[in-house]
Amino acid sequence: MADNSDRFTFQFDGRTIEARSGDTVASALYRAGRRIFTRSFKYHRPRGLLCLAGKCPNCMMNVDGTPNVRACITPAREGMTVRHQNAYPSLENDWLSLVQRFDRLMPVGWYYKTMTHQWSWHAAESYIRQVAGLGVAPQPGGGSKDYEHAWMHAEVAVIGGGPAGLQAAVEMAHDGSPVVLIDDQPELGGHLRYQKRAGAVASALVDQLRATPSAQIISRSYCFGLYEGNLLGVVQANPHGGAIERLIHLRAKRVVIATGAYEVPFTFENNDLPGVMLSTAVQRLIHLHGIKPGERAVVVATGAPPDEVAEDLSQAGVELVSILAPSEVIAATGATHVTGLRTKSGELSCDLLVMCGQRVPDAGLLHQAGGKLVWNQDRGAFLPAELPANVSAVGEVAGAWLARAMPLPPERVSFHKRSFVCFCSDVSTADLRDAMSEGFDHIETLKRYTTLTMGPCQGRMCQLAGIAICAHETGRTMTETGVTTARPPNPSVSLGALAGPRHHPFRRTPMHDAHDQSGAAWMDMGDWKRPRYYKTASCQSEQACVEEEYRAVRERVGIIDVSTLGKLDVKGRDAGKLLDKVYTNRFSDLKPGRVRYSVLCDEAGIMLDDGTISRLADDHYFITTTTGNLDFVQQWLEWWLVGTGWDVHITNVTGGRAAVNLAGPQARDVLHALTACDLSSRAFPYMACREADVAEVPALLLRIGFVGETGWEIHFPAEYGEFLWLKLLEAGKPFDIRPFGVEAQRLLRLEKRHVIVGVDTDALSNPYEAGMAWVAKLEKPDFIGRNALSRQAAAAAEQRLVGFIMNDASLPQDGAAILVGGALAGRVTSARYSPGNGKAVGLAWVSAKSSAAGAEIEIRVNGGTARARIVEEAFYDPAGDRLRM
Amino acid sequence: MSFLIPCPHCGNRSVYEFRFGGEVKTRPHPDSPAAEWMEYTYTKANEAGVQKEWWFHRLGCRQWLQARRNTTTNEVIEAFFPE
């Protein structure tokens, strides 16, 4: 009941509307005199309240920036901003309503009939896009509110808060089972709320349920889908002030569907005029909102006289002009609101036309559950049969209390182009007849051709009428005609609700803040944030900064945070055996204190990942993986371990260890200042590893050289990440040390022709074609991929990964096409300007026959082509002397 | 796709917690003929009915398990850790 003492206001199209506690947006607007609530999709005809239950498309508005909100089930709130949609300039004067004058030019199947040439679509597209669609999508970043997701589990989920749903929930929860009840209305009670004689029953049931501790009630939420494993998709409107909608993933052992039934309109000419309303909508206006719906009403009903509705109208002070059977009605009259009725026995004057229509079970979820819907002639409804286990239907949706109100299929259909079946897309009885005469007389093809049942209401208003007319025209029974398939989502769900919160978790390395202070320009790599390069006072552009960082590494010393590398600690008697089986290189014969590089292939010989493996002790190895592949590699190793009984323990230590790579001709001098470890090449040669303290931090030092200079990869406890980073920078100060980012690292490694698996290789790359034959030890008796690799080793390569250097100053983009003799012969995987060469260098896949060293290729650059030469060796220090210094 | 997998360690969990590992196959002996390796590497039975599959419980116990699943109904008959 509306409470008259509590009044507040909201804005509609710039005007202030007074609302009362208990009002919906629609009821407040109706009380304020509004009769046109939207304009129809195709013809822009004025439309007013029809169902007042959230079932029809007639009151969709923009609420606080969110389009297509059903005003009739959205509670009015103080200060909200509501705008009309699909009309310009206003709902009362919509210029596009002129479209209906040209309806002859827009027959059913208009797109198929008109857009028969490509040019016709090109010519029409921009105009159609301007006028088509419903509502305007909110602009990105336009709102401060958000969407959220939640997960719930229940013993029983009851969908629908009417009497049947309430009763079911009370009974199921009574033994303490967790029960969740979902209801889409502002208040529980279903039709008992507005069918006044039963009002007391509703509140008693609601009180009983609220007093049951194991029952949870979620109001103003609709269930849009019932999926495999009894997973329910539920959207809750305004769960709290900070969220527009919450998507609840509700998993229930049992689902009770109590969605009830809704009333559907009759089809006659101008049945869509504002003022033509369903009887349940009129009852809602009177009993829920205390609104007198009109002055003079005509009631259209079949079967028994609608006593209750007549009584409600007279008590509300509405003059009842007449009660008619639908077969008497010819047309409603009026321009933008109903002013009268043309009947077989003459004209009647009225401002309210009340349709006591057929009640239709809201059975979409039952259909989705895999239930079969069977026509029941007595009840005039498709009712569930053969429901799956753990899904049941109660109340009107199961057929209780339903009665057929009219002959179905009808004995006569009045075909008229203004007699609407589908209110969402303006499909009339005449459109259906035309479509069927064109051959679309199966209910499923009729649906697809006319878009019947495909609009925002998803067939709630039109499905039964559509089937009935199809049955009538084709001479088939309702059963033979059948029902269109209901699929989720139904009703429609906003993309925002599905997408969920704008929350992207990411990982920071322990040195993150230090990078920030050094001017890091960030990039995303997998889950991680990494410095792409560092902005300093001395460089203005990314290119200049990267070149400075490059020169520091090549000429002095640089340091990069490589904490994001995947790090696996592998221990156990059989650790070497597992690595031998999974990696292509050999590890069981690796001496403790040594490091070896390897790739990881699948059984087809495709490279999946690469990294270094250090042997720390006889039964202890330390693996690094590429940043994004850690999970995959760990799962891969564990997979091949299953069932072997081998003694191997794999521990992911990625988050626990920080890592830096200190590289450059003076790297040894910097490190020497902080450690007692003998760093000379004699004591600590290239591809060796040592455990030693660095600045008193216990560390693992790997002497490896991804960037091509003397250097150490230092792994140490993450807690000391920032401490040791700053210590190293401090120790490097006398040598003008420079932190470098991912971009400089990529350039440095490219000059060395070091491949990045996943960048320079793809899902077809084997080590032979990638020029890394040495990494596959075919003499091992068995390893993953050996069989395929041994065949690839013997076969002629089809393509090869080669280095190239440009002939001129042009710089190709990664992915640029390679041409040989004008024909496509490959693609660039990485290309950068190489300061060491004064030209761009890169890696590229080239067809084997064009891949000889010294051969000329053409590369697509900026729409033209530039010439390049294939180079066999690394572009920098091909002998690797600098790594071993 | 929203069925449940009865993880032998964690209990009934949503399939979204798992990574699919494909059909369970027997890896040929290293010296097996090429045709056998080809079959193992590239072809799938793609059973319309119950098949044995690998699943990894990514967001749970992080262990590899095997399940017998009916591919036409997504009913998981059993899930277990292989011996």
* Cα A387 from Cα A373, distance rounded (Å): 9
Task: Answer yes or no: do A253 and A374 share one domain.
Answer: yes
| Structure confidence at residue A370 as a pLDDT band (50, 70, 90) | confident
Distance from CA of B49 to the nearest CA of A (A): 17
Q: Is A763 on the interface with B (CB under 8 A)?
A: no
Q: Is A729 on the interface with B (CB under 8 A)?
A: no
8 Å CB contact of B41 and A604:
yes
pLDDT tens readout for residues A187-222? 899 988 888 766 677 888 999 999 999 999 999 999
Domain CATH number, residue A53: 3.10.20.440
Range of the domain at B65: 4-80
Of A146 and A475, the structure prediction assigns the larger pLDDT to A475
* Cα A684 from Cα A690, distance rounded (Å): 8
Residue A766 lies in a domain: no
8 Å CB contact of B41 and A643:
no
A341, A357, A373 - which closes a domain: A357
Question: What is the average per-residue pLDDT within A339-355?
Answer: 96
Q: Is A229 on the interface with B (CB under 8 A)?
A: yes
Task: Answer yes or no: do A587 and A732 share one domain.
Answer: no
8 Å CB contact of B74 and A638:
no
Task: Answer yes or no: do A170 and A241 share one domain.
Answer: yes
- Within 8 A by CB and 6+ apart from A419, the residues are A267, A268, A269, A270, A271, A428, A429, A430
Distance from CA of B74 to the nearest CA of A (A): 8
Q: Using the predicted structure, report yes or no on whether residue A43 has a pLDDT greater than 60.
A: yes
Q: Is A581 on the interface with B (CB under 8 A)?
A: no
Question: What is the average per-residue pLDDT within A616-639?
Answer: 96
User: Taking a C-beta distance cutoff of 8 angstroms, is the pair A743, A532 a contact?
Assistant: yes
Question: What is the average per-residue pLDDT within A393-403?
Answer: 92
pLDDT tens readout for residues A264-323? 999 999 999 999 999 999 999 999 999 999 999 999 998 666 889 999 999 999 999 999
Closest CB to B74 among A228, A251, A791: A228
What is the pLDDT, as a whole number, of residue A407? Answer: 84
User: Taking a C-beta distance cutoff of 8 angstroms, is the pair A255, A230 a contact?
Assistant: yes
What is the pLDDT, as a whole number, of residue A475? Answer: 95
Domain CATH number, residue B20: 3.30.2270.10
Average of per-residue pLDDT values in chain A = 93
| Structure confidence at residue A402 as a pLDDT band (50, 70, 90) | confident
pLDDT tens readout for residues A65-86? 889 999 999 999 999 999 999 9
| Structure confidence at residue A143 as a pLDDT band (50, 70, 90) | low
Mutation for testing the A interface, residue in B20, B41, B42, B81 having most A CBs under 10 Å: B41
Chain A residues within an 8 Å CB radius of B54: 639
Domain count, chain A: 7
Chain B residues within an 8 Å CB radius of A781: 30
Question: What is the average per-residue pLDDT within A176-194?
Answer: 92
* Cα A582 from Cα A574, distance rounded (Å): 13
Chain B residues within an 8 Å CB radius of A251: 14
User: Taking a C-beta distance cutoff of 8 angstroms, is the pair A332, A268 a contact?
Assistant: yes
Three-class DSSP labels, chain B: CCCEEEECCCEEEEHHHCEEEEECCCCCCCCCCHHHHHHHHHCCCCCCCEEEEEEECCCCCCCEEEEEEECCCCEEEEEECCC
8 Å CB contact of A251 and B1:
no
Task: Answer yes or no: do A401 and A419 share one domain.
Answer: no
pTM: 0.86
What percent of chain A has pLDDT above 90? 81
Closest CB to A229 among B2, B64, B83: B2
Task: Answer yes or no: do A694 and A831 share one domain.
Answer: no
CA distances A855 to A475, A598, A808, A816, Å, are 76, 30, 16, 18
8 Å CB contact of B34 and A787:
yes
Question: What is the average per-residue pLDDT within A634-646?
Answer: 96
Q: Is A4 on the interface with B (CB under 8 A)?
A: no
Task: Answer yes or no: do A814 and A828 share one domain.
Answer: yes
Chain A residues within an 8 Å CB radius of B63: 638
Domain CATH number, residue A545: 3.30.1360.120
Task: Answer yes or no: do A603 and A534 share one domain.
Answer: no
H/E stretch holding A600:
strand A595-601
Question: What is the average per-residue pLDDT within A472-495?
Answer: 90
What is the pLDDT, as a whole number, of residue A65? Answer: 87
Give the ipTM.
0.98
What is the pLDDT, as a whole number, of residue A304? Answer: 67
Residue in the block written with tokens 């920080």: A658
* Cα A707 from Cα A692, distance rounded (Å): 23
A with B: how many residue pairs have Cβ under 8 Å apart? 43
8 Å CB contact of A642 and B19:
no
Cβ under 8 Å to B: A residues 494-533: none
8 Å CB contact of B2 and A781:
no
Q: Using the predicted structure, report yes or no on whether residue A1 has a pLDDT greater than 60.
A: no
Task: Answer yes or no: do A534 and A681 share one domain.
Answer: yes
Of A261 and A401, the structure prediction assigns the larger pLDDT to A261
Q: Using the predicted structure, report yes or no on whether residue A5 has a pLDDT greater than 80.
A: no
Per-residue pLDDT of chain B (83 residues; tens, 9 = 90+): 899 999 999 999 999 999 999 999 999 999 999 999 999 999 999 999 999 999 999 999 999 999 999 999 999 999 999 98
Q: Does residue A409 have a cis peptide bond before it, meaning omega lies within 30 degrees of 0?
A: yes
What is the pLDDT, as a whole number, of residue A141? Answer: 64
Range of the domain at A95: 1-100
pLDDT tens readout for residues A671-707? 999 999 999 999 999 999 999 999 999 999 999 999 9
Domain CATH number, residue A422: 1.10.10.1100
Chain A residues within an 8 Å CB radius of B83: 643
Task: Answer yes or no: do A249 and A398 share one domain.
Answer: yes
Domain CATH number, residue A287: 3.50.50.60
Chain B residues within an 8 Å CB radius of A631: 58
User: Taking a C-beta distance cutoff of 8 angstroms, is the pair A826, A844 a contact?
Assistant: yes
Report the side by side order of strands in the sheet with A657-663: A689-694, A697-702, A711-717, A657-663, A558-561, A738-739
What are the b/e assignments for A359-375, b being 16+ CB within 10 Å?
bbbbbbbbbbbebebeb
Beta strands in A653-766 (DSSP E): 657-663, 689-694, 697-702, 711-717, 738-739
Among A340, A358, A356, CA closest to A348:
A340
* Cα A758 from Cα A752, distance rounded (Å): 17
pLDDT tens readout for residues A228-267? 999 999 999 989 888 889 999 999 999 999 999 999 999 9
Domain count, chain B: 1
Closest CB to A227 among B2, B54, B56: B2
Q: Is A651 on the interface with B (CB under 8 A)?
A: no
Three-class DSSP labels, A217-277: EECCEEEEEEEHHHEEEEEEEEEECCEEEEEEEEEEEEEEECCCEEECCCCCECCCCCCEE
Residue A416 lies in a domain: yes
A136-145, A148-157, A266-275, A750-759: which range is least confident on average? A136-145
8 Å CB contact of B30 and A786:
yes
